[in-house]
């Protein structure tokens, strides 16, 4: 899918310098994947400890 984006040249240069990715399309793909992973990580953290009635599982001795 083709899309026109208005991006800051400085922002693209800084991202390219930090990642070593020179191709703009690949840089945008990597950035979007990173954004999605960060969002998913935050969603998982909000679920941690959300069940207040949950009890620790019983330990078995072997």
Q: Residue 27 is encoded by which pair of tokens?
A: 């840089």
The reply to whether the predicted model has a pTM over 0.75 is no
Model confidence at 14, pLDDT cuts 50, 70, 90, reads very high
- Residue 4 forms part of a structural domain: no
User: How far apart, in whole angstroms, are the C-alpha atoms of residue 52 and residue 61?
Assistant: 27
Long-range Cβ contacts of 42-46 (<8 Å, 24+ apart)? none
Whether residue 24 is contained in a domain is answered as: yes
Question: Is the residue at 51 inside a domain?
Answer: no
Residue 2 lies in a domain: no
* Interval 4-29 mean pLDDT: 96
Q: Into how many domains does the chain fold?
A: 1
Using one digit for the tens of pLDDT, what is the confidence trace for 19-62? 999 999 999 999 999 999 999 999 988 887 777 787 878 888 76
Within a domain: residue 41? Answer: yes
Residue 24 structural domain:
10-46
Per-residue model confidence (pLDDT) at position 22: 97
């Amino acid at each position: 899918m083709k899309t026109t984006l208005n991006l800051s040249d400085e922002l693209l240069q800084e991202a390219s310098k930090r990642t070593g990715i020179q191709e703009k399309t690949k840089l945008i793909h990597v950035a979007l994947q990173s954004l999605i992973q960060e969002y998913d990580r935050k969603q998982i953290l909000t679920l941690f400890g959300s069940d207040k009635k949950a009890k620790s599982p019983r330990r078995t001795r072997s």
